[in-house]
Structure 1
Amino acid sequence: MTRLLAIAVVVVGLTVVGLRGRLPALSDVVDALVDADYGWVLLAVSLQLASIGAFVLQQRHLLHSLGVHLRRGRAFAIILASTAVGIAVPAGAAVSTAFTIREYRRVGATREIAAACAIVSGLASIGGMALLYVGGSLAFLAGSPAGLNWRPLLIVIGLAALTLVAMVIGRRHLRRPSPGERESGGSRAARYVRAVLRSAREAWRAGAEISARDWAAALAYATIKWFADLMCLVAAVRALDQPAGVTALAGIYLSVQIVRQVPLTPGGIGVIDAALVAGLTATGASTTSATAAVLIYRLLSCWLIVPAGGVAALALRRAPNTSI
């Protein structure tokens, strides 16, 4: 519990430092929150829960397709805890993935299956974001064909092609017996490299066993996850009665996702918040209302997940290796 409190203090401290001098007076933000439409706030809460739920369903589906049963309660706890880890610590994505793989192994998954699930989930996440970008681009194309930047779409197509090639090669590799490898001999570094390469190959083979139908399901769940998160931002902005349209908010959201990939601070604290506020004010919102809307969205999608994930992690630690 002391460790969780320390993490919470660090998160709050980073938020204050990152946003210092960029926000309006706290009293003005509080007044805006008091006057917010709480029907939209409740909708934002529901949408964020739907986003997390879609991720949970995706993970259960992938594991089930690989022969591992994961009960809904434990899956929710794992996702909540791993998301909190990804937000709260430096190099959060790598640490979160390692945590998830460890928890999947506790419920009976092999290292290769757990790693394959993480890899497929990551690719599906990229694909889901790409589908949102394509949808937003088509909407923008309908209004302003000449202003569309096609380069990101070409990158998306290239990534999709590489993923397809990897799947095809992996399926062909499944038909071949694994070559014998020396488990001993050589330096410690050489043995470690062989072990890593062997694990990577087996994870690749496990991922290739997933059918096209299961890949499509994983992509669909990932798209729902991102879309629900986007709609959570839209609901938060609507709660403050701001003029930004859905298309403009989608553009802001997708741009911020690029910023989020640069881990300058844990969870993008300070950086993402400032980027969202700047984007909303550019659409005509006042700084006070934009800050209040971002506060609602970030509370639901980031800050409140840290303590909730800490509680989930404690439950997982005390649970047996079957379910909670």
Structure 2
Amino acid sequence: MRNPWVRVAVVAVLLAALAWALQSNTDVIEKGVHHVREADGRWIALGVLALAAAMYAQAEMMVVLLRGAGVRVGRWAANMLGLAANAWSASLPGGPAVSATMIFLRQKAWGAGSVVAAWYLVISGVLAGAGMAVLGLCAVLFLDASINPLTLISSIAVLVALVAAFRWLGRHPPTVRRWVEAVLRRFNRLTRAPEDRWVDKFRELVDQLGAVDVPPRTLGLALFWAIANWCLEIACLYACLISVGVEPTLSGTVLAFLLAKLVGQAQITPGGLGPVDVAMVSLLVPLAQIPSAPAVGGVFVFRALSFVGLAAVGWLVFFVEWLLGRRD
């Protein structure tokens, strides 16, 4: 969907479908609003604390990975960057690309090379995906959720293979250099270009990759923080659902959250607004075994915290950082 007109058309169709769904379910929505008004503030406060801890866990994963790669980064700076980048990612069309660019540039300002900063963006995504797969598998094996465990096991295997490949590339730069140079020279001969075209650039790139040799213990610690981030977000959702007077099943809440997150990966609308909410409500009803009206109320509270609240805090951080002209 690179064509902007296609994106506009898709968003228009989704908004029309959402408007129709709202009109067709006014009774459920009215009951959901009633549940929001009657929500228990103590559980909402616990949800806020869980969400704050989730953002800390996300920043801690960044700290662990960058320090493992030899970059000096402070926890305060990482937390501020995480909040500001989240605001860009969640609030605007194309926000994830802007967010990734912001993270890349700020990490370079901290002293990370281009390869290390790019490596972080890739490996953090891999670890986040691994964390989701691990949680899904745990929900299946230990919480009696109904989903094919082979699908989750295969996902984990692919993610482990990707991490292992990164490790191997970092530990065998001479071998990788020989392979890359042989392929490049052959390609240049076939295209009748100078035989050494791009060779020096790729040689430098491979040498830089060789410098990113993060030990397994560091990757394991980063994976722990990735899983902690997801667990704390799920805890926030769980607290929001309890605040409106229902007791959802834990396994159903976990799977509904993870599947709704997958829907949000398309980023058709800012922050997945609309598709994610509909998906989460639709999944919570059968999986978490709760009525539709409190599901609407609980999701509304959760999104008010995790989408609106976090974005507001992130924009405040961004503008304060910009106005004060911080340089980390």
State how far apart, in whole Å, the 1-side matches of 2:204 and 2:39 are. Answer: 51
Assess, with a 3 A threshold, how the Cα gap between structure 1 residues 127 and 81 changes in structure 2: closer, same or farther. Answer: same
State how far apart, in whole Å, the 2-side matches of 1:170 and 1:312 are. Answer: 35
State how far apart, in whole Å, the 2-side matches of 1:297 and 1:241 are. Answer: 14
Provide the residue aligned with 1:69 in structure 2: 72
State how far apart, in whole Å, the 2-side matches of 1:98 and 1:202 are. Answer: 23
Assess, with a 3 A threshold, how the Cα gap between structure 1 residues 198 and 263 changes in structure 2: closer, same or farther. Answer: farther
Provide the residue aligned with 2:54 in structure 1: 51
Deviations 1:234-282 (A, max 9, x none): 1111111224211111121121122122222121110000111112333
Alignment of 1:227 with 2:231, yes or no, is yes
Percent identity of equivalent pairs: 23
Judge which range, 63-72 or 258-267, deviates more. Answer: 63-72
Judge which range, 113-122 or 210-219, deviates more. Answer: 113-122
Amino acid at match of 2:121: A
Report the Cα offset of residue 54 of structure 1. 0.3
Provide the residue aligned with 1:126 in structure 2: 129
Alignment of 1:311 with 2:311, yes or no, is no
Alignment of 1:296 with 2:301, yes or no, is yes
Judge which range, 83-92 or 269-278, deviates more. Answer: 83-92
Alignment of 1:80 with 2:83, yes or no, is yes
Provide the residue aligned with 1:171 in structure 2: 171
Deviations 1:171-229 (A, max 9, x none): 11178889999xxxxxxxxxxx889967864664344x111111111101000001111
Judge which range, 244-253 or 312-321, deviates more. Answer: 312-321
Report the Cα offset of residue 27 of structure 1. 5.7
Runs of 4 or more above 6 Å deviation = 13-18, 174-181, 193-196
State how far apart, in whole Å, the 1-side matches of 2:120 and 2:303 are. Answer: 28
Amino acid at match of 1:285: I
Q: CA RMSD in A?
A: 3.4
Amino acid at match of 1:313: F
Q: How many residue pairs were aligned?
A: 300
Provide the residue aligned with 1:236 in structure 2: 240
Where do residues 168-317 of structure 1 align in structure 2 (5 Å cutoff)? 168-173=168-173, 201=206, 204-207=209-212, 209-282=213-286, 283-317=288-322
Provide the residue aligned with 2:19 in structure 1: 20
Assess, with a 3 A threshold, how the Cα gap between structure 1 residues 35 and 161 changes in structure 2: closer, same or farther. Answer: same
Amino acid at match of 2:21: R
* Structure 2 unmatched ranges of 5 or more: 1-11, 185-197
State how far apart, in whole Å, the 1-side matches of 2:18 and 2:201 are. Answer: 41
Amino acid at match of 2:95: G
Judge which range, 115-124 or 222-231, deviates more. Answer: 115-124
Deviations 1:83-128 (A, max 9, x none): 1111122333332111101111222222222222222211211111
Alignment of 1:89 with 2:88, yes or no, is no
Contact 1:125 1:219 in 2 (8 A): yes
Where do residues 144-163 of structure 1 align in structure 2 (5 Å cutoff)? 148-163=148-163
State how far apart, in whole Å, the 1-side matches of 2:282 and 2:82 are. Answer: 30
Secondary structure of the 2:290 match is coil
Assess, with a 3 A threshold, how the Cα gap between structure 1 residues 203 and 83 changes in structure 2: closer, same or farther. Answer: farther
Contact 1:115 1:203 in 2 (8 A): no
Alignment of 1:117 with 2:120, yes or no, is yes
Provide the residue aligned with 2:194 in structure 1: none
What is the TM-score when the length of structure 1 is the normalising length?
Answer: 0.80
Contact 2:140 2:251 in 1 (8 A): no
Contact 1:92 1:266 in 2 (8 A): yes
Secondary structure of the 2:42 match is helix
Contact 1:18 1:270 in 2 (8 A): no
Judge which range, 198-207 or 227-236, deviates more. Answer: 198-207
Amino acid at match of 1:244: P
Secondary structure of the 2:172 match is helix
- Structure of higher RCO (CA pairs closer than 8 Å, 6+ residues apart): 1
* Structure 1 unmatched ranges of 5 or more: 1-12, 182-192
What is the TM-score when the length of structure 2 is the normalising length?
Answer: 0.79
Assess, with a 3 A threshold, how the Cα gap between structure 1 residues 125 and 101 changes in structure 2: closer, same or farther. Answer: same
